[in-house]
Structure 1
Amino acid sequence: MKRLFLCLVLCGIAAAADRPNVLVFIVDDMGWQDTSVPFHHDAEGKPVVSVLNRRYRTPNMEKLAAQGMKFTRAYAHPVCTPSRITLMTGKNAARHHVTNWTNPAGTENSDNDVKHLRSPEGWGVKGISPDETALPSLLKQAGYRTIHCGKAHFGSKGAFGQYPQAVGFDINIAGNEIGHPASYFAKQNFGKGSNHVTGLEKWHGKDEFLTEVLTRELGEVLETSVKEKKPFFAYMAHYAVHSPFNEDPRFSANYPDLPPPQRAYATLIEGMDRSLGDLLAKLDTLGVAENTLVIFLSDNGGDAPIPNNNANPVVSGNAPIRGKKGMRYEGGIRVPMIAAWAKQGPGNAFPIPAASHTSDLVALADIFPTVTNLAGVTNAKPWDGHDLLPYLKGDPSYHRPQWLVTHYPHGHNNDHYSIFHEGPWKLIRNWADGSSELYNLASDLAESKNLAAEQPDRTKAMAAKLDQRLNEYGALRSKVVGP
């Protein structure tokens, strides 16, 4: 009996060691066009290189896209905390109720620009609920080492989700309740006050940049995991490219003609990309690159310090799409996403078609079932996500359901709205005045012509579907105040 038990234990360890590793590489506030990789494709499927694609330098993103798949219609929530909790739980934000970002104090942070509307009562102002079953906890139970590095922002100070360990991470590098750093400079001890980055004290006073520091820290933990033959789930959540727009001096010379804030932003982009390249090289050196799936994405639309000029959209921060972080338009919610093995080779669990892309709608909630299925986790409820592995395996017959709900019952860059995507069509319900916007993204990517009045039947039908889904999620609605 003892021999049988020992055999089962050892076999279980071997099976865990053989399972693919996963590196989720999530960037903060990176826009759909904040890269030299074009995510805009024309009707024939050919990439369209934009002005912003020519501005930024992301050779390692180019490398990753060349050996894997781009998702050109990937969607997140319009702000950060809801997206991060959706990734962790597989639930739409309307279902998990953390529909806005959380602040360290755990207090309401919405604007009150709409006089008669406020945030819903009972929304998750302190962050993720302890009742949630999170992705890292499931992977930990399945024998994975779970590693968090960088920005957490799952909950406020003193709340359940303040630290990543609460949701199942074995190791936490520099993650807590803050949503952005006070400073990227180690010389400044990564800043002071409520947005000070903690856990990196050994770097204080040194001539180093936060993006590079986090990369080195994660590299050391990955090396230990590989030596101990533990499969890993690594969640590299960079503070970059969120403000403050501190210039990464390693890359300043590459952008001599940009004004200071835009030059700083470009250096944050390039520094993030260097981190990606360094981690890919580290995985290769450790001999696990062929067995590590890398998923690259952003947590919401871009927030570059570029005027959002609808009259001259070619110079807007997310051109050719409209809007920016927090907004109901595509610039607020469409994000870059790539999935690939860290290195192509015979060690891949399955081949991913090289330099491929899909224009199907996919969403952040899809990461949860994709990773759990890849890892062989059998007790995970997919909730609102859909497995993306058939895309990566090259199955042309597979299509994730082509609809999506986005719910933002708060005040911010745009106020109190819900969105329903259905194929190429997009409906926006503006709760402040009851108006609707309808766009055909296939023919009007910039959302320049509202078709709601011209197509009342489609508008009404999509509005009914939106309401049905919100009710199914148990979505909290904006609170009406005043007379």
Structure 2
Amino acid sequence: EALTREAKAAVRAAVENEQPFFLYMAHYAVHAPFQADPRFSEHYRDSGKTDPAQAFATLIEGMDKSLGDLLAQLDELQIAENTLVLFLGDNGSDAPLGHEHQVASAAPLRGRKGAHYEGGMRVPFIAAWARGHADNACQQRLPIAAGAIQPQLAAVYDLFPTVLAACDIRLPAGLPCDGQRLDRLLRGQSDPEHAQTFLMHYPHAPHRSDYFTVYRQGEWKVIYHYYPSPASEGSHYQLFNLERDPFESNNLAAREPQRLRDLMDGLREQLQAQGAQYPLAANGGPLEPQLPPPQL
């Protein structure tokens, strides 16, 4: 609530001074340790959930109220039509429910924050003009399809060039930009030119998943485990088809050896292109991912 009050004051000051504004609103209460928001505790008292889960639910409801208050202020200040709202998370769900590598806190997806499964990697993302109006010049520059669901792959870093374009700002010369504009995707269309690859590299420990690299190419996803463990089914490799199996319940590594090898080639190339760091091997050198044999 304190953050909401400060955010509203900053927005009001910008409008009164006739200045454009960028508001980054991070509701960090939705984070461990989970301390219940007493305004909403009674709503979950009889839910049958654990105390931490009930506390988490109150924090989510508090965030929802905060966003509602901010949107109401945009209407009050008569700037809703000119205000682009982007709502997203920076990692998968961390709700204190179930095991971190199973279907639980991010159900129906497997895993949670910090995990190499989709429940730890996919994030909610909603884009909208605070009040839609087809004749608004800003909205004509970046039309957003109302009520559309976009299944095509995109990443958080795609927001940077998208927002610059919406504000009619050129990318500064010489500034690297990893992302691609989301214009066509936000219109509800497919974009064949948008990258269909994604790399997530975590060469560290300890966390809910340790020492891993994930590489996605279209509907296929490979997880490479630098140190096989029971959590990785005792193997370096896990391979999933996310279109047919978004819940990552069927490891295809043994049945699709050529597909696995092709994705591992892409994974290694991406790591090299990014100058990635690797875990340390027993001899002190870098422990780089290994290609699987032609047949497992």
TM-score interval for Structure 1 and Structure 2 normalised by the shorter chain = 0.7 to 0.9
* 1:340 maps to 2:128: yes
- CA-based RMSD of the aligned residues comes to 1.8
State the alpha-carbon separation in 2 of the partners of residues 322 and 393 from structure 1: 29
* 1:466 maps to 2:267: yes
Letter paired with 1:422: Q
Give 1:479 shift.
1.9
State the alpha-carbon separation in 2 of the partners of residues 449 and 323 from structure 1: 14
Q: Name 1:378's counterpart in structure 2.
A: 170
Q: Name 1:216's counterpart in structure 2.
A: 5
Letter paired with 2:70: L
Give 1:234 shift.
1.0
Q: Name 1:270's counterpart in structure 2.
A: 61
Letter paired with 1:340: A
Q: Name 1:301's counterpart in structure 2.
A: 92
State the alpha-carbon separation in 2 of the partners of residues 396 and 341 from structure 1: 20
Q: Deviations over 1:122-142 (max 9, x none)?
A: xxxxxxxxxxxxxxxxxxxxx
Whether the aligned pair in 2 keeps the contact of 1:290 and 1:342 (CA below 8 Å) is yes
Return the match for 2:226 from 405, 412, 431. Answer: 431
State the alpha-carbon separation in 2 of the partners of residues 407 and 343 from structure 1: 38
State the alpha-carbon separation in 1 of the partners of residues 101 and 93 from structure 2: 15
Q: Name 1:408's counterpart in structure 2.
A: 202
Give 1:232 shift.
1.1
Q: Name 2:287's counterpart in structure 1.
A: none
Identity of aligned residues (%): 45
Whether the aligned pair in 1 keeps the contact of 2:225 and 2:237 (CA below 8 Å) is yes
User: What secondary structure, in the 3-state scheme, does the structure 2 residue paired with 1:237 have?
Assistant: coil
Return the match for 1:283 from 74, 77, 81. Answer: 74
Return the match for 2:139 from 349, 364, 381. Answer: 349
Give 1:393 shift.
3.3
Whether the aligned pair in 2 keeps the contact of 1:360 and 1:399 (CA below 8 Å) is no
Give 1:317 shift.
1.1
* 1:330 maps to 2:122: no
TM-score w.r.t. structure 1 length?
Answer: 0.53
Alignment coverage as a number of residue pairs: 269
Letter paired with 1:416: Y
Give 1:302 shift.
1.2
Pair 396,457 (structure 1): closer, same or farther in 2 beyond 3 Å: closer
Whether the aligned pair in 2 keeps the contact of 1:390 and 1:398 (CA below 8 Å) is no
State the alpha-carbon separation in 2 of the partners of residues 352 and 436 from structure 1: 39
Whether the aligned pair in 1 keeps the contact of 2:198 and 2:215 (CA below 8 Å) is yes
Q: Deviations over 1:260-314 (max 9, x none)?
A: 1111100101111111111111111111111011111001111111112877x4x
State the alpha-carbon separation in 2 of the partners of residues 230 and 277 from structure 1: 23
* 1:240 maps to 2:41: no
Return the match for 1:321 from 103, 109, 113. Answer: 109
Q: Name 1:365's counterpart in structure 2.
A: 157
Q: Deviations over 1:213-265 (max 9, x none)?
A: 10110100100101111111111111131011111111112212233111110
Q: Which has the higher strand share?
A: 1
User: What secondary structure, in the 3-state scheme, does the structure 2 residue paired with 1:480 have?
Assistant: coil
State the alpha-carbon separation in 2 of the partners of residues 441 and 231 from structure 1: 41
Q: Name 1:292's counterpart in structure 2.
A: 83
